[in-house]
Amino acid sequence: MLTNRSLADYYMQEYGLEALIATQPVSIRYLSGIDCWAINWLKEWMCSPGGSNSSIPLYCLLPYNAEPILILPCDLGQFGFSSFSKDVRLFGSVPQVPKKIEDLSLELTQIGETDRDIINSYIGTVYSSSIEAIVKTMKGKGLGHSRVGMELKGFSEVAFKEISEHLNNVLFKDCTEIIRLTRMVKTDEEISLLTKSAQLNEIAMQESARSIRENNVFGQAFSRYKEIVEQGGGVPEHFIFSQYGCGVSESKDYVFKNGQSILLDTGAYYSNYLSDTGTTVFIGNLDAKYHEIFKKIYECINAGLNSIKPGEKCSIINQNMIKCLEKNKVYGLEPYGHGIGLHPSEYPLITGNLNYTYHDGFEQRSADFTLEKNMTISIEAPYYIFGQVSYTIEVSAVVSENGYKGLVTQNRCKPIMNC
């Protein structure tokens, strides 16, 4: 299972919650396993002119120590049936749905077992709206008088008001952060998917980087990257470059020149899990001083990796990377790190700006997270010398029992040399 159920149940028990309700696409995917492109971009205004920018009301109800319940519109029901949620409830209109499958005019002998299960899911109770669905589902699960965590950041205020009016004996608490914190510690299944994603991304990046040569356009490298990722069952997420220290670009028509140091940063999804990596490509023969700078960036990355272990604060990792840069007299480079998972950037964050606390919906919490086993982290060090060169090194690791383990082999001791 993708969901870290033990951690989710821990937070529910810790804060006296009987259930969590996910309302945002990535959280619904995390708790239910649904894989549906439409829930990522459907907004209220797309269905109702004048509506908000909030996602349309969809839910995944996760009761304490019980199976998730996925609530979807009828036309997306089949996506729910292929998720790991065994309880999928539908709302909206389905034309002429009978009360039982035997009432169908279609001969039953023509319906296979899989289709029979799908059709049965539509027969019976189909709620008129998402509000009715979540309200009646909660009451049916004995949550009509309860304390429940609901993901409220990004959720429609109008929809929440209506739900609250129907469930006026429920105390709703904002659990947005609790779901983010749960996602921060990966399950073994998630790490397996992240590893496959990282393997695919690394192969595609290394192969496509060969096209970054004098007189070639960036689009050639991108096409090769896209081809390899898609052949491996993935989906490209980003493929960007930088030249002459001028920030990043994805201009497909850009023509590379001899003597350039190119930053290359790539990312891909595999089964909805993201990989993020980066390297530096030298085109032609560059001055020895630029090779020396790369070595110092590599030392910085290793200083960060070697600081990773359970119990360590994220700020310490950042400090150790900066100390390494200062020792080597490299200035103006701000190394950082971030979690990877269903999002390109997740908790924990590794930066120099973590000296504060925030309210997580239940109590004050330090932004400087403490590393735990099975957190997955991407560490990177992009460096721009304006008008001259662009560099980066980015690698990914999982926190292990006593330190870290690379998700995959990522050899970054030297830049890619395309002479």
Assess contact for 183 and 342: CB atoms under 8 A. Answer: yes
The residue ranking higher by pLDDT, 406 or 127, is 406
Q: Give residue-wise pLDDT tens across range 137-159.
A: 999 999 999 999 999 998 989 99
Residues in the chain: 419
Would you list the domain boundaries of the chain? Answer: 5-92+127-184, 188-418
Largest CA distance in the chain: 80
Question: Taking residues 239-267, what's their average pLDDT?
Answer: 97
Question: Taking residues 75-98, what's their average pLDDT?
Answer: 82
pLDDT value of residue 47: 79
pLDDT value of residue 98: 55
C-alpha distances in Å from residue 401, one per residue of 33, 301, 310, 347: 27, 21, 7, 19
| Residues facing residue 241 across a β-bridge | 249, 264
Q: How far apart are CA 171 and CA 149, in angstroms?
A: 8
C-alpha distances in Å from residue 234, one per residue of 51, 289, 344: 34, 38, 15
pLDDT value of residue 106: 56
Q: What are phi and psi of 266, to 5 degrees?
A: -135, 155
pLDDT at 118 over 80: no
Instruction: Find the range with the poorest average confidence among 38-42, 278-282, 285-289.
Output: 38-42
Task: Give the pLDDT band of residue 97 (cuts 50, 70, 90).
Answer: low
pLDDT at 100 over 70: no
pLDDT at 303 over 70: yes
pLDDT value of residue 46: 84
Task: Give the pLDDT band of residue 101 (cuts 50, 70, 90).
Answer: low
**CATH code linked to domain 5-92+127-184:** 3.40.350.10
Question: Taking residues 353-357, what's their average pLDDT?
Answer: 93
Instruction: Find the range with the poorest average confidence among 88-92, 280-284, 310-314, 358-362.
Output: 88-92
Class in CATH terms, 188-418: alpha beta
Q: How far apart are CA 335 and CA 332, in angstroms?
A: 10
Task: Give the pLDDT band of residue 74 (cuts 50, 70, 90).
Answer: confident
